[in-house]
Each structure stands twice: as C-alpha cells, then as structure tokens.
Amino acid sequence: MFASYRTRLQAAFVALALVAIAVTGYEASAGAASALEQATLGRLAQVAAAKKRLVERYFHDVRNHVLALSSDESALVAIAEFDEAWMAMGPTDARRASLLRQLFLDNNPHPASARDLLVEPEGGGRYGKAHARYHPTFHRYQSAFGFYDIFLINTSGRVLYTVRKESDLGGNLEQPPLSGSGLSQVYQRAMRLGAVEQAVMEDYEPYAVSHGELAAFVAAPIWRAGTKLGVLAIQVPVEEVNRVLAGDDAFEFIAGQEGAMRAGSRAPAGGPLLRTTLPVDLPDVHWTLTAEETAREAFAPVRAMRRRIAGWGVLIAGIFFAAAWWLGRSVTRPVLELAAHARRLGTGDFSARIPVRSADELGQLAGSFNHMADDLRSTTVSRDQLDAAHQKLRELTGRLIDSQEVERRRLARELHDDVTQRMASIAIEAGRLKLSPARDPAEWRDSLERLQHEMARLSGDIHGLSRRLHPAILDDLGLSAAIEGECRGFFERGGPPVDLHTGPEADNLPAEAQLALYRVAQESLRNIARHAAASEVSVTLSMRPDRCELTVADNGRGFDRSSPEWRAGLGFASMEERMRHVGGSLRVESAPGEGTRIVAEVPA
C-alpha cells in the first residue's frame, strides 16, 4: 500500500491534519455540550411557566363562560321551553327520545359532522319551534369559543338539547349507556351545588358518544328564583388544550393524578430527556405541566458543530492531500501519462494525446507519441470511411438491380398476360368479321362498336404503362398538370381524395428539377397507398423566392426512423438521390400514429 514515495507523502500529510483537528474538536464540543445543557434547562423552565399560565387562564375563561351562559335569560327560558316541549312529544320517555333522535339524527339532511346546521326539522312541532328560536344563539356561542358541544339537561338527567346533535341527545345521564360518563359525573356534581355562581369541571377521559375522543366537561346549574331548572354543560375537546400548548419546540403535556398523559403539542421521542415539571393550579383536577426535550434535540447544535468541525477537517485533509499529491505528481506524472496513453493506443483508441508541457526530453517524447497517434488515426479512419461507403454503395446497387428486375417482370407480365392477349382477341374478332358475310348490318355495327371499345381500353392501358415509364404530360403540359394527373390516378386506384394546391409558376423550372419533383410526388403517393392506411392526403406545390417546395402529407400510421427495426426502402433512397442530383434536399417528418410529411425543395 505504501510502496511508492508519493503514497507515503500523502499519508503523512493527511495523518498530521486529522490528529490536530480531532484534539481541537473534542475540547470544543465538550465545553459546548455542558453550557448548552444549562441553557436548555433554563429555557424549559420558562416555557413550562408560560404554558402553565396559559392553561390556567384558558380554563378560568371556560368557567366564566359557563357561569355567564347558565345565568343568561336565554338559557333560563330555553331550558324551560325545551322541558315543556319534551313532555308534549309523547306519553313515555322512550317514545320522546326516539322521536327526538328521529328528527335530528336519522332524518337530518346534513352529514353526521354537520347535523348542527339543521335549525327547524320538518314535523318538529313545539320542540322544533323552540329549537329554531334558541339553537342559533347556542350555535354561535359554541363556534365562537371553540367548544365541542353545549348541553341543556333537566333535573331528571334528561339531555334536552345539544348543539352537535350526537347520540346523547334525548338520553338520560342516570341510565346506561350514559351513566358513568364524564358528562354524567359533571351533571351530578353540578346538581349537588348549593350556591349560585359556582361551576364544576370533570377531567379528560374518553367519551364514547364522541367516538371515544378525550373530552373534559365544565357545568353549572341553571337557577331561577332560587330553584334549579337544570344544568348547562360545555364539552371541551382536547384539541383546545393542544392549541394552547402549541407553538414551542419543547415537548409539553399535562399529566393527571395518575401520571397519564392528557394532552400535548406532540409526543416525546425516545432517548434521554431534559425535563422541567410544574403543578397546574385548577380546581377539581390534578394536573402537572411538563416541558421536556430529548437530549438529541437539545444537543443538536453541538452535533452541528461537530459536523462542521468534521467538514473542515475533511476539507483541510483534502488540502493537505492535494498538496502531497501535487508534489508527488510533479515527479511521476510524465512517465505515468506516457504509460497510460500507450495502453489506450494499444486498445485501438487513436484519440489518445499527451499534453506537451516542456521542451526537454520528456516533452520531445510526448510530441513524437502524438505524431505517431495522428498518423495511425488518419490511416485507420480513411480506411473505415472507404469501407463503409463501399458497403453502402454495394447495398444500394443490389437493391436497385432487384427493383429494376421486379419492375421489368411486372411490365413483361402485363404486356404478355394482358395487352398481347387482348390484341390477339381483337385480331380474332376482326378476322371473324372479315370472313362472315354481311347478312345483318346491325350485328356488324355492334361487333365494330365492341372492337372500337376494346381498342380504346387497350390504348388507355398502354398509355398508363407509358406514363409510368415516363410521363409525357410532364413534357407537354408541365409539372402542375403532371402532379394533378398523378393525384387523380391515386384516387381512381382506390386512395382517398387528395387536397391539391399547385401553381403554374413551377412549370418554369428546369426539366430535370420538374422530373425530380414529379418522381418524389409519385413515390410518396405510392408509399401512402401501400403502407400508410391514411384517410386524408394533401399535396402542395409552391414557389418561394429562392426555391420550389413540394409537400406531401398524410394522417396515416407513420413510423419511427430512429427505431432499430426501421430500414429505409429503395423509394426513400431514390427520392433522396434525385434531390441531391438536382441540388435540392429532402426532409421526412413522421411519428407512429401521427402520419408522415415529406418536403422536397429545389433551387428556384
């Protein structure tokens, strides 16, 4: 590992740097950790005291809300009217409770989470009218102060009214399943109060009616002229305590008498903790508020400092390593470069070059090496290019010969199987007429008309063969007429109608350019008929100031020229070659499923 001088020099430099950084970093991090622990405990004590005051103030305000609402005239009148309406709903408590739940729970048009939006149910009778009169007031109070629910309970323990309309509506707190719940206990304690302006609170515990969520209850009796009409209770969700405790990085939670967590901004993580605990001064409950933070979070700045020290250590070690590397490299670099580039040259990589940095013997050796690589690359590249061009020429020649032979066989077959036989048939028919006596002039006339019709068809077919060999219309009428005739023939052979746009200006092009553009149009339409399966085809021939442009487009299958499976046919090769021959260019744009667009341009 340390066989070379350069490696030993690098190792010594890096080892010295790392030892110095490690000693300095240890002393700095130990002192910072001790100071940070004391600062964290002080901050936690401040956080706990501040949160304690917030919790005490919040529940003091809740008690004041309950006392104010229970002594308000609307609550006195409401509980009395609800009690009278309850008695008028049916002969038995079971019948009344069933009807009340049917009106506000079962037939409520709103979802379960929004039943409080129903103000007056259809068919609610006397209770519905009382509900429409007092529910908006209690609903606004509940929403404004973030309470979960507000209850009106008569002296028999019957829940006459709730804002939320959950399953405890119409229930009896002294009977299952509500007996023993937090709401039942706070009701019984409120009923035992003997003085006005007093309220009681029941600690947080799961309330089955509210899906088992933690809930605390604060209640006060409703008095009129020294007589208890019932109890007003408020359900305080645990989220309200969470909201009061939220907003600090420390972990805070309120613990009950048994030490179980009641509420908190977030659950404490595992690991060692730094903790401060204070009692919460609230009647009826025994809470302690704890502010705690994991040692991992408390000492995060120390870890960050250690990371910075480690980062600087790595950087400094890298600088030392770079210095040692530069010193060693300045001695061994020329020889190593020559060896590496010689290996590349041996593998056939003729782009290997050695930078010439000096005029001494090593610089002269590098120049000789580069000159040798240039000679080898020039010779090899020229041979490769020649072989590739020769191979491409052989392939194109072979495909051209094959295409010519196929076309010749097809023309010979048409001449032999079609034209020759039809000419023989005409000759036989003419001989028959010559030998037959002229008995019936009408029969002779019909036979002559058949001969005339057959000779006209034969003339048209021979004209088509001649046009495929060379379009005479191109010489007689010009490029625009020739392309128009090709589009008409494309449609007559079963292709879709062609949207054709041409102008007479292209007829002034040289004959070679007109022939080349005509062959591009002819080959493009032939490829569309064979491969595209298109329903729309357009051909545009237009003159530009400096060029003539032919565009053939379709909405057919299209193809991907970059695909390894795609291979250009002889038609594309012949079109490109024709354009090059007249100094023009050919551009093919296509994609699978998006059709094909061929643009041929020749100089004007």
Question: What pLDDT shows up at residue 329?
Answer: 64
* Lowest mean pLDDT segment, chosen from 408-417, 501-510, 557-566: 408-417
d(CA 78, CA 84): 10
Average pLDDT over residues 182-205: 93
Average pLDDT for the chain: 80
Domain ranges of the chain: 71-245, 473-603
Look up residue 496 and give its DSSP letter: P
Looking at domain 71-245, its CATH superfamily turns out to be: PAS domain (3.30.450.20)
Question: What pLDDT shows up at residue 34?
Answer: 75
Question: What pLDDT shows up at residue 181?
Answer: 96
| Band of pLDDT at residue 265, cut at 50, 70 and 90 | very low
The three-class DSSP label of residue 602 is strand
d(CA 366, CA 361): 9
Segment 13-28, tens digit of pLDDT: 667 767 777 777 777 7
The answer for residues whose C-beta is within 8 angstroms of residue 480's C-beta and 6 or more apart is: 502, 503, 504, 506, 507, 541
Average pLDDT over residues 209-238: 94
The answer for residues whose C-beta is within 8 angstroms of residue 393's C-beta and 6 or more apart is: none
d(CA 249, CA 300): 13
Candidates 140, 145, 114; CA nearest to 236 is 145
Name the token pair of 2.
Answer: 């340390």
Alpha carbons within 13 A on the beta-carbon side of 234? 28
Angle of the 570-581 helix axis to the 511-527 helix axis, nearest 10: 160
| Antiparallel, parallel or unpaired: β 159-162 and 251-255 | unpaired
* Lowest mean pLDDT segment, chosen from 125-139, 163-177, 252-266, 570-584: 252-266
pLDDT at residue 177 is higher than 90 = yes
Question: What pLDDT shows up at residue 153?
Answer: 98
The answer for residues whose C-beta is within 8 angstroms of residue 88's C-beta and 6 or more apart is: 125, 126, 127
pLDDT at residue 310 is higher than 70 = yes
| Antiparallel, parallel or unpaired: β 287-294 and 273-280 | antiparallel
Question: What pLDDT shows up at residue 91?
Answer: 93
* Lowest mean pLDDT segment, chosen from 201-205, 278-282, 328-332: 328-332
DSSP per position, 8-59: HHHHHHHHHHHHHHHHHHHHHHHHHHHHHHHHHHHHHHHHHHHHHHHHHHHH
Question: What pLDDT shows up at residue 574?
Answer: 81
Segment 574-595, tens digit of pLDDT: 888 888 888 999 999 998 988 9
List the alpha helices (DSSP H) in 347-440. Answer: 361-414, 421-435
Average pLDDT over residues 364-368: 70
Segment 511-556, tens digit of pLDDT: 888 888 888 998 899 889 888 889 999 999 988 888 999 999 999 9
Q: What is the 3-class SS of 536-558, one letter each residue? A: CEEEEEEECCCEEEEEEEECCCC
| Same fold for the pair 71-245 and 473-603 | no
Question: Which of 213-217, 337-341, 449-453 holds the top average pLDDT?
Answer: 213-217
pLDDT at residue 221 is higher than 90 = yes
Average pLDDT over residues 232-243: 90
Question: What pLDDT shows up at residue 401?
Answer: 47
Question: What pLDDT shows up at residue 555?
Answer: 92
- Please state the φ and ψ torsions of residue 279, each to the nearest 5 degrees: -75, 150
List the alpha helices (DSSP H) in 107-181. Answer: 125-144
Segment 22-75, tens digit of pLDDT: 777 777 767 777 777 777 778 888 888 888 899 999 999 999 999 999 999 999
Could you give the C-alpha distances from 137 to 128, 130, 140, 143, 148, in angstroms and in order? 15, 12, 5, 10, 15
Average pLDDT over residues 226-231: 94
Candidates 551, 555, 556, 537; CA nearest to 493 is 537
Average pLDDT over residues 249-277: 60
| Band of pLDDT at residue 325, cut at 50, 70 and 90 | low
Angle (CA) 451-456-461 rounded to 5° is: 125
Q: Which helix (H) or strand (E) holds 586?
A: strand 585-590
Average pLDDT over residues 307-311: 78
Name the token pair of 358.
Answer: 């000096």
pLDDT at residue 598 is higher than 90 = yes
Look up residue 604 and give its DSSP letter: -
CATH architecture of 473-603: 2-Layer Sandwich (3.30)
Segment 124-158, tens digit of pLDDT: 999 999 999 999 999 999 999 999 999 999 999 99
